[in-house]
Amino acid sequence: MPNAPVTVPCQYRTGKTLGSGTYAIVKEAVHIKTGKYYACKVINKKLMEGREFMVRNEIAVLKRVSSGHKNIVTLHDYFETSNNLYLCFDLCTGGELFDRICAKGNYHEPHVDDAAGLVRTIMKAVQYIHECNIVHRDLKPENLLFRTPSEDADIMIADFGLSRVMEEERFHLLTEICGTPGYMAPEIFKKTGHGRPVDIWAMGVITYFLLAGYTPFDRENQQQEMEAIIAGDYKFEPEEYWANVSDTARDFVSACLTIDPTQRPTATEMLQHRWLSDEKPHFVPDP
Ligand code: ADP
Ligand code: MG
């Protein structure tokens, strides 16, 4: 991989669109020489004007974490043309976790193997990212991708566009507001400084979503949503969606959703939680 983006004659042919996010369109791309398929994140330079540092940051972070862990998407190549910047990743053909949750309704605990297994895998990758002194800051089901369409495909953390390197935690507390409202931790809104714990909060929201099929802080408008997050105001309700969910799973969600970031457990601590550390599924037996 070159050290800096280079302008080269196009070596890839792009195909269908795989997804799009805030700043980019991601397209399937075939490397013409090798015939290998990749996912190519196409970033329009004009749209990013003044915010080019975000792409440089994404590349710098990816260089640090990708290829170091099998559940983090690998950046293979990057280059630019006069209009666009291109980041070429491993192609994940299994779609977003978001779409799988929506298609299934939820990962109710009779399928708890799936839910706890998925959360364990993602949490291990988060632990690795945190050990690399990176905070992801945009963990959500749209940024978690399955490597293949198979039911038991590996899940991959993608989109390091908002991530940050935290060299010395105490001196580099982040204060800018960023992320996707429903998954943002209270300390982000309070602007009291944030770091690794925001990813654990997001894991709590993701786990809630996996178990119930809807998110905990969904309100009529963003103001109410923010107030609910700051107050930690969520319930395991309506009951019909939670009847099959064990206390152990609920306790896992509650621990991730600890309002005070200094009291919130770390990724390593959450991996020791009974819901993840026991290989056996926990679900409420039929009466
Ligand atoms: P943004 O920063 O704009 O949110 P993402 O990196 O999240 O961009 O990419 C947007 C969408 O493109 C993702 O939500 C996903 O659907 C799709 N996508 C991203 N990377 C890949 C990949 N490696 N393989 C397949 N699809 C991908
Ligand atoms: Mg994204």
What secondary structure does DSSP assign to 130-185, as a single string?
Answer: HHTTEE----SGGGEEESSSSTTPPEEE---TT-EE-SSGGG--B-S--S-GGG--
Between the CA of 273 and the centroid of ligand 1 the distance, in Å, is 30
Give the active site residues. 138
Q: Which residues contact 167 (CB under 8 A, 6 or more apart)?
A: 133
Between the CA of 100 and the centroid of ligand 2 the distance, in Å, is 16
How much is the pLDDT for 109? 54
Closest CA to 161 of 78, 89, 60, 84: 60
Q: How far apart are CA 41 and CA 75, in angstroms?
A: 10
Q: How far apart are CA 272 and CA 240, in angstroms?
A: 29
Q: Which residues of the chain have pLDDT under 70?
A: 1-9, 108-113, 167-172, 279-287
Amino acid at 204: G
Output DSSP code: residue 217: T
Between the CA of 256 and the centroid of ligand 1 the distance, in Å, is 25
Q: How far apart are CA 52 and CA 56, in angstroms?
A: 7
Is the complex ipTM more than 0.85? Answer: yes
How much is the pLDDT for 282? 47
Tens of pLDDT, residue by residue over 98-137, are 998 888 877 765 454 579 999 999 999 999 999 999 999 9
How much is the pLDDT for 153? 94
Q: How far apart are CA 68 and CA 70, in angstroms?
A: 7
Tens of pLDDT, residue by residue over 48-60, are 888 888 888 999 9
Residue bearing the CA closest to ligand 1, atom 3 = 21
Q: How far apart are CA 245 and CA 134, in angstroms?
A: 32
Between the CA of 81 and the centroid of ligand 2 the distance, in Å, is 22
Q: Dihedral of CA 13/19/24/25: which sign?
A: positive
Residue bearing the CA closest to ligand 1, atom 5 = 159
Q: For the whole model, what pTM was predicted?
A: 0.91
Q: How far apart are CA 38 and CA 131, in angstroms?
A: 28
List residues near ligand 1 (CB under 6 A): 18-24, 26, 39, 41, 73, 89-92, 96, 142-143, 145, 158-159, 161
Tens of pLDDT, residue by residue over 67-103, are 889 999 999 999 888 888 999 999 999 999 999 888 8
104 belongs to an annotated ligand binding site: no
Nearest-atom index, ligand 1, CA of 26: 12
Q: At what angle do helices 112-131 and 247-256 cross, to 10 degrees?
A: 30
Please report, for residues 87, 205, 277, the alpha-carbon distance to residue 258 in angstroms, rounded to integers and kept in the order given.
Answer: 36, 11, 20
Residue bearing the CA closest to ligand 1, atom 15 = 19
User: From the centroid of its chain, how far is CA 58?
Assistant: 14
Residue bearing the CA closest to ligand 1, atom 12 = 19
Q: Which ligand is nearest to the CA of 18?
A: 1
Amino acid at 45: K
Tokens coding 47: 């749209």
How much is the pLDDT for 174? 81
